[in-house]
Structure 1
Amino acid sequence: MEGAQGIDILALNNPQQPIQSGGATILRSDGNILADAFFDNSQLFALNLNDRASNFFSAIAFRVDPRQAVRFDPNPSLESIQANIRDHRNILAVDSRAADVVKTDVKSGNDSGVSLNPSPTGNGSETSHQNGGNPQNPSQPQNSTTTAAASPNPGVDLKTASEVAIQAGLSNLSSLSSVSNPNSLTGTASLSSAVDLLLREGRILEARQTLDLAIVKELDGYLGNVTAPKVGTETIASLTAEQQQLYVKYNQMEERSAQIQTELNALRRTPESQRSAEQVERINKLQAQQIEDSKEFKQFINSPNVASLAKAVSEASLKKLQSDLRAQDRNAVLLYPLIQDDRLELILVTSDAEPIRRTARVSRAELSQAIKEFRNALETVYDPSIDAKRSGQKLYNWLIQPIADELDRVNAKTILYAPYGQLRYVPLAALHNGREWLVQKYRINNITAASLQDFSLQTPTSRSILAGAATQRLSFKIGDRPFSFSGLPFARREVEALTQIIPDSVQLLDADFSPESTQRQLRNHSLVHMATHAVFMPGKPEDSFILFGNGERLTLADVRNWSLKNVDLVVLSACDTAQGETLGNGEEILGFGYLMQQGGARAAIASLWAVDDGGTQALMDIFYTILKRPNMTKAEALRQAQIALITGNYGVLGTEGERIAKNIADRLPVTVTEYLDHPYYWAPFIMIGNGL
């Protein structure tokens, strides 16, 4: 069945009475394929017109096996159904119909076969931290620990998770590195479920690598054509002769599969009704070949020798990652959070030991609510009843307290942070431990994924800045949605100050600040600073945009064409994210960071919310003043600038501090100067990429 714009199937059946077609059912569409129904678990294939299983959605938990067959969870929990509703709330058909399925299930005494009382099983034994604080001392987390109970893991068994872990290793080793290949991994949901099970089995090394690849897959789903870079030659050289032969065979299988897929895509460009008999015969032959190749691939993946190869690659990748951490900062660590229905998983990589796993006992719903409350508190300055420290401490108890002992053991100074899902909408730097903000103890450096991170150590020999500002009010529509942006009067002062601090600089104001004039000069400067409105919205890259002073705008899809080869840092100082009451998964923030690095920039700074009234100017003035010091890293410069606003101590800046303090007192209203220590002014700015 093909549907150009989409396919929508709804059947209130149950697992004991699946839809059966007497053969394979192939649903193919470039739109969304919505299937709120139970199918025969071995006969449903959901693909887009390029045969990628990335547009299939259901309220019922499912996984996609290596053959690309969709396999539904035979006993999904109500919680998992509700989680799927939340995850796909932007697809209204699935949302409304799935809710009806749940309601019908409750009223009918569970006729649909859905379990309303899931009973988690599993054997995880890592430390688990309860949510909330100690009622006797709110500044301290609860001391009680429990054995981490496993949550329902829809549609993924240990054998499947093991196959996924092997493919994660091989995909990073492959010269093609294509997780969208028909013989390869599929949806992000399947990958995160596999990570969940690997963690509960204590296979933390494999879980970390699979989670990293899941983030790459998420980027690929959002932007398209995103692949993890192949492992370096030193890793290949470390393999045994037999393993190298397996590596060659894997590449050959990937290349053959890619060739078949390319030919199929070309043939399918001809509408089905217009295909010749020869074309139909060739398509059938290629599809049959794909089935045979899938069988061969499955046998290959399940070979003990291939498992040994994947393990060798994982171990070599960890050694390389730990070496990169030591080179960046001997006291650097890498933190991955993973949000599950009933808990928050944490994976911590240090430079001297095996990765560790810790678990915080907080449900997805409770964590989501806490994130919203924290975000609201961060943006609320003048209401004393809304306390960012209190809400920041709640998240600290879940995200940092479980790993605090390990951070102390390695004397951590820098946290490389790969945020997951809605955690991308709040800054880690603004968590609070009851005594101080996290940024006062650690440098915080966001990354997209370790496999995509630029760990190179070179720093620019000289700095020059291209600074653009949009100071005028601008209004326009995108479709039916109106946008109106107030002028940024302090943006002019912001860029004028920056070009005085950094010599050999260029400033573009208002009409002169256009996409064309900016792109023309990008490669001539090591620093690119844009004091202009930008909106990052969930959905498609075309929904997020950067506004220029002449009224033009570029979407994230347009930004993909930027050449930033010589750029050390891109700064967007007036971004806004998480507009509206519903949070997405933050893929737009993830996508921006990736696109800047893909274009050649080593790092980017973006604001999670727009700061008005000159507060941004104050922070950026301090940041660039510190950055121009010899041997100063970008991450440390941002940290010191944030601490200067928190403490109000500008004396540490030397003679420049007197100038900055005077400018703040003379130019900013008292309603700003008296509240610069509030995280609204210093916390929204996050560093993404290489912070050296």
Structure 2
Amino acid sequence: MELALALARQSDDRRQFALIMAQLGQVYLAAGQLEAASEMLHEALGLARGLGNAGLSAVLLNDLGILLASQQQYADALKIYEESLSLAQTVSNRPLAIRAQINMAKAALQLGRHQEAKNWLDLVLGQLQELDESHDKAYGLINVGLGYQDLRGHLGKLDEVLLLESAKLFREATNVAQHLGDPRAASYAWGYLGRLYEAERRYQEALPLTNRAVFSAQLANAPESLYRWQWQTGRLLTALGQLDDAISAYSLAVETLQPIRQEVALGSEGLHASFRETIRPLYFELADLLLQRAALTEGQQYSEPYLLRAREVVELLKAAELRDYFRDECVDALQGHIEKLDLLSKTTAVLYPILFADRTELLVSLPNGMARVTVPVTADRLTQEVRAFRRLLEKRTTREYLPHAQQLYNWLIRPLEPSLAAFPIDTLVVVPDGSLRTIPLSALHDGKRFLISKYAVATTPGLNLTDPRPLRRTRLKVLSAGLTEGVQGYPPLPNVTTELQALETLYGSHPLLNQAFRSSSLEKEMQEQPFTIVHIATHGKFESRVEDTFLLTFDDKLTMNQLTRAVGFFRFRDEPLELLTLSACETAVGDDRAALGLAGVAIKAGARSALATLWFINDEASSRLVAEFYQQLQKDPSASKAVALQRAQVTLIQDPAYRHPGYWAPFLLLNNWL
């Protein structure tokens, strides 16, 4: 498509050029690349208007409205849809006019203008009844039915009328779809009718309707529809108390979703649907069912398969979350490593805290198998405690963080103490969930000491994403880079000098400092030499959108994609990059999506491990900790990276000036801890 665009730019056919730009804009929109989509669609619209092509202008305006709605700019979207409608009516494009009015109803609903939304839907319904049997009519009826469903609870006495009208429209849509031989449309019509009955708790009636939706989706070879109805089947069977059958249905839904999750997360109409709404609940509900089933099974040997399957589902979710954040397939799991990791060490435990709405589950992999503890604290209550703890950790002059550190310890670690004490565990690897990504678990406190004083602590987005090989100690080659000067409005980092000097002393590295530290020079160095460790001491920000995440260089901002490209040179060598250190980065307080980006930085960049900070410390403590970490790695070949970090952090704790976790806790060892 982009090649066609390049050729069209060189031709004099402006109409063809506008059409190609419009199509490329739609592709970007469907892929969730909203900035690129906006640029293409606006340029194409300018051309279409210049050519006086009202039909193409109407299509482009509708797409721009969808783009604005995906950014929650509903009032602006509504105005754009109105313009699209006007032009569609001018050129007598009735299907487009209907789509524009349905989109106007959706926008009005989001703005709380419920009667206006109903008026638009009523208008569309009248127009649909005049259409011959067609795909546009089938999907139009489904969309109006969904619109009426969404209006329930907002228009008082009309609730029952809206319910009956929705059911009638879905049934009418099934007739149209069957008449056309369109099983895909039929799957949506039957499925949404089943969902309507599900919402009314009429589960026995909803099940056969949902089965018809599953059959139609299979007939259409439409996985983006099929997974929804397999999931719905699982929910209905759960409600009917048929737990084993429900688990089977959920498992089929996950299996169907795996190859298409990226497309599904973007939404079927190019409208970016939140991953948390469309995909995460499926995995969570299946894990919940498996844990419930394990609880009903007496004896570890019988419950263990359910716990292992629950862990596997959580692993699939973790990989899907990272793919969603980075918007690419860079995080394909390293297949088959999970069993190897379990067998790697008798001194390592892996903790999966799972935050459910009504409780918190602690799954832990131990040398003899899986253990599970249920903690009666809701996700909301735990998140509230996490946010208070995170906020107070940076206040280095008070100990207000301590009650929260102890409360979180009591919820997340103390229930596991008997299981952990049964083995010589020295390393705790955490696969955090939700808000727990935003805090360092090393700073939890048992009333006498910090968790880091008992265990080396590492974080990984998932065991399936972890390359289990230990650090290669021979022929270590280090590339260091950083800024001590203030650039681009960011303050100077004077302690970076000490940090980089320590690396120079230990490994003989010659740093790219200040003016020498540019994106191009970093890329050139990595291309030319096989480094084991890359250490970057500069301002870095991890944001909830990967596009806004960067590392500061002297003259520019290094994006995640640029960093990946630079580190990517190592993938073609015998040894990949062992460790990427980012010693002055930060994530927004309370933003667990930004913290997800930090947790996945090693995977995205193609490094086995990363050492990075949750918040920024412009202090001598940072350079001291980093220097101690590298010294521990060098002087004790038996020490893992996690143990080296533990020793460095404990060294700071033992210094009264730096005992506060605000100084040492932000450093996280990410991914491979060996």
Written as runs of structure 1 = structure 2, the 5 A alignment for 1:456-475 is: 456-457=469-470, 459-475=472-488
1:347 corresponds to which of 363, 367, 372: 363
| Shift, 1:518, TM fit | 1.1
SS of 2:658 mapped into structure 1: coil
CA distance in 1, matches of 2:308, 2:190: 22
Moved more, 436-445 or 555-564: 555-564
User: Does the alignment pair 1:635 with 2:635?
Assistant: no
Partner of 1:338: 354
Partner of 2:199: 74
Partner of 1:380: 395
| Shift, 1:474, TM fit | 2.9
Q: Give the letter for the 1:415 counterpart.
A: L
C-alpha contact (below 8 Å) 2:458/2:671 kept by paired residues: yes
Partner of 1:288: none
C-alpha contact (below 8 Å) 1:165/1:207 kept by paired residues: no
1:453 corresponds to which of 466, 475, 492: 466
Written as runs of structure 1 = structure 2, the 5 A alignment for 1:80-99 is: none
Written as runs of structure 1 = structure 2, the 5 A alignment for 1:570-649 is: 570-579=580-589, 583-584=590-591, 586-629=592-635, 630-648=637-655
Partner of 2:495: 490
1:206 corresponds to which of 297, 301, 309: 309
C-alpha contact (below 8 Å) 1:502/1:628 kept by paired residues: no
Q: Give the letter for the 1:323 counterpart.
A: K
| Shift, 1:393, TM fit | 0.9
| Shift, 1:179, TM fit | 4.0
CA distance in 2, matches of 1:545, 1:518: 14
| Shift, 1:210, TM fit | 1.2
Written as runs of structure 1 = structure 2, the 5 A alignment for 1:125-524 is: 158=243, 159-166=245-252, 168=254, 179-180=261-262, 187-202=279-294, 203-226=306-329, 229=332, 321-327=338-344, 329-353=345-369, 355-384=370-399, 386=400, 388-457=401-470, 459-475=472-488, 484-503=489-508, 505-522=509-526, 523-524=529-530
SS of 1:423 mapped into structure 2: helix
| Shift, 1:170, TM fit | 8.3
| Shift, 1:636, TM fit | 1.1
Change (3 A) 1:468 1:68: farther
Q: Give the letter for the 1:514 counterpart.
A: R
| Shift, 1:596, TM fit | 2.4
| Shift, 1:27, TM fit | 9.4
Change (3 A) 1:376 1:588: closer
C-alpha contact (below 8 Å) 1:596/1:603 kept by paired residues: yes
Partner of 2:231: none
User: Does the alignment pair 1:562 with 2:575?
Assistant: no
C-alpha contact (below 8 Å) 1:502/1:624 kept by paired residues: no
CA distance in 2, matches of 1:366, 1:408: 28
1:680 corresponds to which of 645, 657, 662: 662
SS of 1:612 mapped into structure 2: coil
Change (3 A) 1:333 1:487: same
Q: Give the letter for the 2:249 counterpart.
A: E
C-alpha contact (below 8 Å) 1:164/1:210 kept by paired residues: no
Moved more, 456-465 or 358-367: 456-465
CA distance in 2, matches of 1:615, 1:543: 28
SS of 1:632 mapped into structure 2: coil
Change (3 A) 1:678 1:602: same
Q: Give the letter for the 2:640 counterpart.
A: T
Q: What does the per-residue CA deviation read over 1:637-672, in whole Å, with 9 as the maximum and x for residues that have no partner?
A: 111100111123xxxxxxxxxxxxxxxxxxxxxxxx
Change (3 A) 1:227 1:611: closer
Change (3 A) 1:401 1:560: same
Q: How many residues align structurally?
A: 455
CA distance in 2, matches of 1:621, 1:157: 57
Change (3 A) 1:66 1:436: farther
Q: What does the per-residue CA deviation read over 1:486-541, in whole Å, with 9 as the maximum and x for residues that have no partner?
A: 110111221122211223x1201111111111122235321111111111122x20
SS of 2:577 mapped into structure 1: coil
Partner of 2:178: none
Q: What does the per-residue CA deviation read over 1:48-106, in whole Å, with 9 as the maximum and x for residues that have no partner?
A: xxxxxxxxxxxxxxxx9998999477279xxxxxxxxxxxxxxxxxxxxxxxxxxxxxx
CA distance in 1, matches of 2:406, 2:170: 49
| Shift, 1:464, TM fit | 2.1
Change (3 A) 1:225 1:154: farther
Q: Give the letter for the 2:478 counterpart.
A: I
C-alpha contact (below 8 Å) 1:443/1:636 kept by paired residues: yes
Change (3 A) 1:352 1:166: farther
C-alpha contact (below 8 Å) 2:440/2:668 kept by paired residues: yes
SS of 2:565 mapped into structure 1: coil
Change (3 A) 1:167 1:414: farther
Change (3 A) 1:75 1:167: closer
CA distance in 2, matches of 1:180, 1:68: 22
SS of 1:226 mapped into structure 2: coil
Larger radius of gyration: 2
C-alpha contact (below 8 Å) 1:556/1:592 kept by paired residues: no
C-alpha contact (below 8 Å) 2:254/2:283 kept by paired residues: no
| Shift, 1:341, TM fit | 1.8
CA distance in 2, matches of 1:67, 1:212: 29
C-alpha contact (below 8 Å) 1:346/1:357 kept by paired residues: yes
Q: Give the letter for the 2:501 counterpart.
A: E
For structure 1, the 5+ residue unaligned runs are 45-63, 77-152, 233-316, 476-483, 649-673
Q: What does the per-residue CA deviation read over 1:279-304, in whole Å, with 9 as the maximum and x for residues that have no partner?
A: xxxxxxxxxxxxxxxxxxxxxxxxxx
C-alpha contact (below 8 Å) 2:330/2:603 kept by paired residues: no
With a CA cutoff of 8 Å and minimum separation of 6, indicate the structure with the bigger relative contact order: 1
Q: Give the letter for the 2:282 counterpart.
A: S
Q: Give the letter for the 1:456 counterpart.
A: R
C-alpha contact (below 8 Å) 2:142/2:170 kept by paired residues: no
C-alpha contact (below 8 Å) 1:468/1:509 kept by paired residues: yes
| Shift, 1:632, TM fit | 2.9
| Shift, 1:197, TM fit | 2.5
CA distance in 2, matches of 1:525, 1:70: 57
Structure with the higher helix share, 1 or 2: 2
CA RMSD of aligned residues (A): 3.8
Identical-pair percentage: 27
C-alpha contact (below 8 Å) 1:463/1:502 kept by paired residues: yes
C-alpha contact (below 8 Å) 1:165/1:210 kept by paired residues: no
SS of 1:605 mapped into structure 2: strand
C-alpha contact (below 8 Å) 1:430/1:438 kept by paired residues: yes
C-alpha contact (below 8 Å) 1:168/1:213 kept by paired residues: no
Structure with the higher strand share, 1 or 2: 1
C-alpha contact (below 8 Å) 1:198/1:206 kept by paired residues: yes
Change (3 A) 1:178 1:406: farther
For structure 2, the 5+ residue unaligned runs are 1-61, 70-102, 116-120, 129-136, 153-162, 172-187, 202-237, 266-274, 295-305, 571-575
| Shift, 1:374, TM fit | 0.9
Q: Give the letter for the 2:322 counterpart.
A: L
CA distance in 2, matches of 1:338, 1:547: 35
Change (3 A) 1:495 1:66: farther
TM-score, with length taken from structure 1: 0.59
SS of 1:602 mapped into structure 2: strand
